[in-house]
Structure 1
């Protein structure tokens, strides 16, 4: 069975809609609800044709500083032969709607719904939508932290559907993480995973840690604890956490609660 993922379609609210929404920005976290992802807040990039994007996060001094995350919307025939304009940047792509043709160092790959790609910083890649419908995917970017004696990671192409989730110990399978990268491979300085909670499952303690997070809700709903606040989130919402922001959640049901998760890993703290 193919997984379900929420992806924004833009549009514009009517004049009869209330201004009240769930958007929050604090010193510790931000919640960007799906209702804010309208036509008026889209962006465009050089060398991308028939493409627009929603910027979910960007490095900000004093907040989260290690990554940026976009939702890309590529119309049929659109794409780019020069997608990345900054050197030393690694990327993860995750397709939430449609499919794209991804070429890495001359080798073509079809990246379908649920497709995941890790792109090393020195890779040469292009991306095009050769299908007959709109494609939408997340693009997470990070400046790779080179370490003497460690090679750069290899490119990875896989799918959510093809990776068996790792069950968290002591949870009877109610909390699991889909890991696209071997967590013991220290060449990687970021992980992008999918976290899945069954209805009623919880993070049973306030996680408080050095990793920054971007969490995009792919499916379902939950009550999420962020710092001192409880917020309700649902499919299409985005949470952006700086380091050490306490977090926990209750999955609300009736279906699974799943989110795409970014975190920085495996490197010394710069002094």
Structure 2
């Protein structure tokens, strides 16, 4: 299984700068072609890394999460990757290999590897291999609830979790859920949604969750608010709460995306 990641580099000088990136009051689309060397960022306490910041909290837009695509050179990594004790993380490996140490437990993750890291956790991340490694990193401040424990760390993979078919769709729409939706310890879900060619969300979903969607594979026509937008592997979508959304998978391979949403908590007043 191949998982998309920013293409880096720079387009040739003969390319037109006109593109399909969109930023509206309801949603944003960052096509893969915009995720180039010139828009990378770097962090203190890291070695041999660069990253693309795909989403960050913005007042009046999506406010709960940040999402990075991180590339580690051989030998790159950090012994102090997270600076916010209240932040929880999900790491999803797109290519290469990373060594993740969580509270003293060592885990080796390859493409498709998935890790949940709770807040106030000691962890490190390194690339011990001879080639670059690439991973998606989603961060959200954890919101506790009275009588509800903080969830434990866990490591799994796309390959190890069987997708759950959605109702009344003959198997063309399925969700790989890494966390049980009824587990109220979790206040965010990061899942993989899969549509077979021609599969669709057959109504305009309109709900309170903010969304980050990174297209891992395939292509689709995606409804965002009132606009049908063609998207493909490597494109990123960022949706405000209540932004209507639907999709129709196109092409001849499955359409898959890594989905973030905030869940299971009262709305702050």
TM-score by structure 2 length?
0.99
How far off is 1:32 after superposition? Answer: 0.2
| CA–CA separation in structure 1 for the residues paired with 2:26 and 2:176 | 26
Aligned to 1:113: 111
Aligned to 1:19: 17
Aligned to 2:202: 204
Tell whether the 8 Å contact from 2:7 to 2:32 is kept in structure 1 after alignment.
Answer: no
Tell whether the 8 Å contact from 2:7 to 2:33 is kept in structure 1 after alignment.
Answer: no
Tell whether the 8 Å contact from 2:219 to 2:231 is kept in structure 1 after alignment.
Answer: yes
Aligned to 2:258: 260
Aligned to 1:96: 94
Unaligned stretches of 5+ residues in structure 2: none
**Of the candidates 123, 126, 129, which is equivalent to residue 121 of structure 2?**
123
How far off is 1:190 after superposition? Answer: 0.0
Aligned to 2:53: 55
Runs of 4+ in 1 over 3 A off after TM superposition: none
Q: Kindly tell me the number of residue pairs found equivalent between the two proteins.
A: 269
1:149-164 superposed matches below 5 A:
149-164=147-162
| CA–CA separation in structure 1 for the residues paired with 2:25 and 2:59 | 11
TM-score by structure 1 length?
0.98
| CA–CA separation in structure 1 for the residues paired with 2:12 and 2:92 | 31
Unaligned stretches of 5+ residues in structure 1: none
- Is residue 2:44 matched to residue 1:46? yes
Deviations 1:70-125 (A, max 9, x none): 00000000000000011210000000011100000011000111000000002110
Q: Which SS does the other structure have where 2:201 is aligned?
A: strand
Aligned to 1:227: 225
| CA–CA separation in structure 2 for the residues paired with 1:238 and 1:186 | 28
Tell whether the 8 Å contact from 1:78 to 1:128 is kept in structure 2 after alignment.
Answer: yes
How far off is 1:147 after superposition? Answer: 1.3
Aligned to 1:242: 240
RMSD, aligned CA: 0.6
How far off is 1:242 after superposition? Answer: 0.3
Tell whether the 8 Å contact from 1:198 to 1:253 is kept in structure 2 after alignment.
Answer: no
